Structure 1
Amino acid sequence: MSYANPEPLVSTEWLAEHLGDPDLRVLDCTWHHASTNLDGRTQYRGRHIPGSVHFDIDHISDRANPLPHMLPTAADFAKKVGLLGISDGDRIVVYDRLYGGAAAARVWWMFRAFGFGKVAMLDGGFGKWTNEKLPADMSMVRPEPQSFSATYQPALVRGLHDMTQNVVTGAAQVIDARGPGKFDGTQEDVFPFRKLGHIPNATNIPWADLIHAESGTVIAPEAPAARFAAAGIDLRRPIATSCASGITSCVVALGLYLLGHTTAAVYDGSWAEWGLAEHTPAVAA
């Protein structure tokens, strides 16, 4: 069995072969929550794939919104992406250091949410790259600014109102990508909250279930298909994904895309918004 849509993934072998292509841009998307005392930009400066530039999901976001790394406007996204040296004619590969790719999947989704489809995630991320002793660099990359176009795609994004209405209508299946403890409310989230648990009628498919524990690569095609089927997810119906703050939910959206469900939307605010809102219902164990 092969993926219906394999294009969102590239292998380390492919990237090593194409690293010098003039139209290829590589983005190091490493991100960590502040509680970890780790910093993605610092890690990028230490070692990164040659030629890559750092994409900071906290910087390329709606800085006026108190919620974490919410989508910016299309104009702001286009401006900041252009400053990273990316033009409309480029191809993009994204990677990070967390278990194959969590923030990288977020950036993959962000580009799609602004109408750009020539973007793929490095399967296995920087961990697999370095384990294979492929080249890494410490040199800072200072790209020439380019012109980039962005057109917002609202069908791929869900907000608080959409998700509140969906509790009533059930129009979309909701997949929560957090771990089971946060899903059932027995474990506190790292973001401020008024309530614990999950959105009513949501299904828990932790994002790590789609990643091979040792290699950090996305699991073989038949495995995620079986995981979604076992959870009762119908790939023919609309799907919205959620998580803690709109990052790991993008891993699930990418997994769905690989299987042929290309229209899954991501709840941008996720539990960072839902768990803090006053009147949102929550289900806990």
Structure 2
Amino acid sequence: MSFTTFIQPKEAMENLHNPDFLFVDCSFSLADKKWGVEEYKKAHIPGAVYADLHYDLSGEIIAGKTSRHPLPKKDALVKTLSKLGIDENIQVVVYDATAGFMAAARMWWLLRWAGHEKVAVLNGGKAVWAAREYPLTADIMPLQPKQFVPHFNDSMLASAKEVMASIEAGNTCLIDSRTADRYAGQNETIDPVAGHIPTAISKPFNAQIGAEGVAAPSVYKEHFKEEFAKGNVVFYCGSGVTAAYNVLLSVYAGYPVPKLYAGSWSEWITDPNRPVA
């Protein structure tokens, strides 16, 4: 059996010593880039490796052109996945420090983009794992590199040009995954321009998640019902990270994989000719 969206802590614990499972700690804080790796060093699931959102799961930032977390180049991503020890036989279990799934969802999306479907997010993250009194350790095992063979699916992506065309054609449901206040142009402390892409609706990535993680798929089936009934769906957020969480929830609910505008708001606003609402 393979896990392709979420895996429950009990299921993950049962496979803790399964040689075909690889646990990847993606803990990260936007406020402190060193926090995640230090948190990993303090305590992580035994055997887990660490993937850094900034250095491993993002590409080079080019001022005035890219988002704050641009997608890594394909060859760089393949090298990272190989280094971590992933090949076609490996079931990947990704997790964050808490149930927020921010960076874990990003790695889930990157693996799916690269053609690897055997990847799931640990429901509830390390916090719930610890609350169940499952083992944690500070011991860091050496990496066991493998050869990752990619099969990239670029149909999962929407470009800024495509988003602009969809606004003009009115044939796409564009969903902003940031918190509601940032969508409304309030309390914008991250990006230099406040607001959202015209025609986008607000569906905050964390609106349907509790401390214990996600609910049953039917909850999210209903949550996104109206949006997917409209046809084409494209998610975006501030820099393409938290929107991956909404993509994950959509697939978990049983909907076809929606597109991600990976550049998102922080890329959109680099061109003053793009409209802002």
TM over 0.5: same fold?
yes
- Residues 189-231 of structure 1 show CA distances to partners (whole Å, capped at 9, x for unaligned) of 413x2x311111111011111212x31x1123332233223xx
The whole-number CA distance in structure 2 between the counterparts of 1:82 and 1:115 is 14
Query: Residue 89 of structure 2: SS of its match in structure 1?
Result: coil
Equivalent in 257, 268, 277 of residue 262 of structure 2: 268
Look up the match of 1:96.
96
User: Counterpart in 2 of 1:8?
Assistant: 5
Q: State which drifts further: 35-44 or 171-180.
A: 35-44
Q: Which amino acid aligns with 1:239?
A: V
Alignment coverage as a number of residue pairs: 272
Match of 2:161 in 1: 161
Deviation at 1:251, TM superposition (A): 1.0
Aligned with residue 18 of structure 2, among 21, 43, 48: 21
Give the whole-Å Cα distance in 1 for the aligned partners of 2:33 and 2:115: 34
**Distance in 1 between the 2:274 and 2:73 partners?**
26
Question: Where in structure 2 are there 5+ consecutive unaligned residues?
Answer: none
- RMSD (Å), alpha carbons: 1.9
Instruction: Give 1:54 deviation, angstroms.
Output: 0.5
* Residue pairs, 1:44-55, within 5 angstroms: 44-55=40-51
> In 1, are the aligned partners of 2:99 and 2:123 still within 8 Å (CA)?
no
CA drift of 1:98 comes to 3.7
Greater shift, 14-23 or 98-107, is seen at 98-107
The CA deviation at 1:278 is 1.3
Partner of 1:170: 170
Identical amino acids, percent of aligned pairs = 28
2:274 to 255, 280, 285: 280
- Is 1:123 the counterpart of 2:123 in the alignment? yes
Name the residue aligned to 1:254.
Answer: 248
CA distance in 1, matches of 2:32, 2:83: 28
1:211 to 209, 212, 215: 209
Measured in 2, the distance between the counterparts of 1:238 and 1:25 equals 34
What amino acid is the match of 2:37?
Answer: R
Q: Which residue type is aligned with residue 217 of structure 2?
A: P
2:35 is matched with which residue? Answer: 39
Question: Conserved in 1, the CA contact under 8 Å of 2:173 and 2:233?
Answer: yes
Distance in 2 of aligned mates of 1:42 and 1:142: 17
Q: Deviations over 1:57-101 (max 9, x none)?
A: 221232254433322222221111111122222110100014341
Residue 77 of structure 1: aligned partner: 77
Query: How far apart are 1:171 and its partner, in Å?
Result: 2.8
Q: Any idea what SS the aligned residue of 1:152 has?
A: coil
Aligned twin of 1:134: 134
CA contact (8 A) 1:77 1:150 kept: no
SS at match of 1:234: helix
Equivalent position amino acid for 1:255 in 2: L
Structure 1: give runs of 5+ residues left out of the alignment.
1-5
Give the TM-score normalised by structure 1: 0.89
Q: Which residue of 2 aligns with 1:180?
A: 180
- The structural deviation recorded for 1:12 is 0.2
Q: Which residue of 2 aligns with 1:239?
A: 233
Which deviates the most, 92-101 or 16-25? 92-101
Q: Tell me if the contact between 1:236 and 1:261 (Cα under 8 Å) persists in the aligned partners.
A: no
For residues 275 and 98 of structure 1, what CA distance do their matches in structure 2 show?
30
For 2:133 and 2:17, the matched residues in 1 are separated by 18
Structure 2 length as normaliser, TM-score?
0.92
Displacement after TM superposition at 1:157 (Å): 1.4
Q: Which amino acid aligns with 2:46?
A: P
